[in-house]
Amino acid sequence: MAEAPVIISASGDTALRVASTMADREAGWRLVHHLARFLESAAVPGVECVIPTYDAALIEIDPLDVSLDRLRDFLTHVAAGIDFERPLSENPRTFDVPVLYDEDDSLDLADVARAQGIEISDVIRLHSEPTYVVRCLGAPGGSPMLDGPAFPEPVPRLSSPRAHVPQGVVSVAGRQATITPAAAPGGWALIGRTPLTVLDLDAERFVPYAPGDLIRFRPIGRDEYDALQGTRMSAL
């Protein structure tokens, strides 16, 4: 069997980190997420939690059920057999996310435009033009982590993070974009708000999307924002 294109290292005494070593970032992303899905579906003894990101997965274990060395050998074998050319999802779902790109003082839309040397309308256009792939789920509350829009420059994080960012805020930082499903502190630049309810603690899945799904942002006005307030986010 071919050598697995991953590096597996201990992360403390009860977790392993599996990181892709592939030059092709898309293939590496697919590899770690296929591995994570295999571990979740196979119910591997001792595996307590699997957290995949862009190019790595953290696997937390119960050391009473499995040792790190034994699991490392198993993961090396599994990773070597994964078809990383296979799409993460054969039929990805698409989520339409209406966004009110507001210029009020609580958001950073005008500051982002000024720092990029473009008009506010260009920020809105560049942010709402792409169809984004959900790369992984982040904090808080399962935020959809997305590759960012094609701004001229990476968007710097705030020099002083906010103590409170409300739910539904649409934000950017570096070359990434996301939605905030639950209120939390944050240092990303806020450029808009969606009226949709993203996080549902009563649902089987707290957030409706998964890695490999697609998100489109759609500019709306205040009237539509008010009319859609509290609507649950769902796929088209």
In DSSP terms, which residues pair with 138 in a beta bridge? Answer: 143
Question: Please, how many CA atoms are within 13 Å of residue 223, restricted to the half-sphere of its CB?
Answer: 0
Using CA atoms, how far apart are residues 71 and 195, in angstroms rounded to an integer? 44
Give percent of the chain with pLDDT exceeding 70: 98
Q: Considering only residues 202 and 134, tell me which one the structure prediction assigns the higher pLDDT.
A: 134
- The pLDDT score that the predictor gives to residue 1 is 46
In one-letter notation, the amino acid at residue 136 is C
* Helices 120-128/109-116 angle, 10° precision: 100
- The pLDDT score that the predictor gives to residue 105 is 73
Using CA atoms, how far apart are residues 99 and 102, in angstroms rounded to an integer? 9
Going by DSSP bridges, is the β-strand pair 184-186/162-165 parallel, antiparallel, or unpaired?
Answer: antiparallel
Going by DSSP bridges, is the β-strand pair 184-186/176-179 parallel, antiparallel, or unpaired?
Answer: unpaired
Compute the mean pLDDT over every residue in the chain, rounded to the nearest whole number.
94
Using CA atoms, how far apart are residues 166 and 96, in angstroms rounded to an integer? 20
Using CA atoms, how far apart are residues 233 and 131, in angstroms rounded to an integer? 16
Give percent of the chain with pLDDT exceeding 90: 91
Does the structure show a pLDDT above 50 at 24?
A: yes
**What Cα–Cα distance (Å) separates residue 182 from each residue in 53, 165, 224?**
19, 8, 22
Does the structure show a pLDDT above 50 at 69?
A: yes
The average pLDDT across 59-76 equals 95
pLDDT band at 3 (very low <50, low <70, confident <90, very high): low
Does the structure show a pLDDT above 80 at 123?
A: yes
Backbone angles phi, psi at 68, to 5 degrees: -60, -40
The average pLDDT across 6-13 equals 95
pLDDT band at 142 (very low <50, low <70, confident <90, very high): very high
- The pLDDT score that the predictor gives to residue 106 is 78
Does the structure show a pLDDT above 90 at 104?
A: no
By residue count, the chain amounts to 236
The average pLDDT across 55-78 equals 95
Q: Considering only residues 4 and 1, tell me which one the structure prediction assigns the higher pLDDT.
A: 4
Max Cα-Cα span within the chain: 59
- The pLDDT score that the predictor gives to residue 2 is 54
pLDDT band at 102 (very low <50, low <70, confident <90, very high): confident
The average pLDDT across 52-76 equals 95
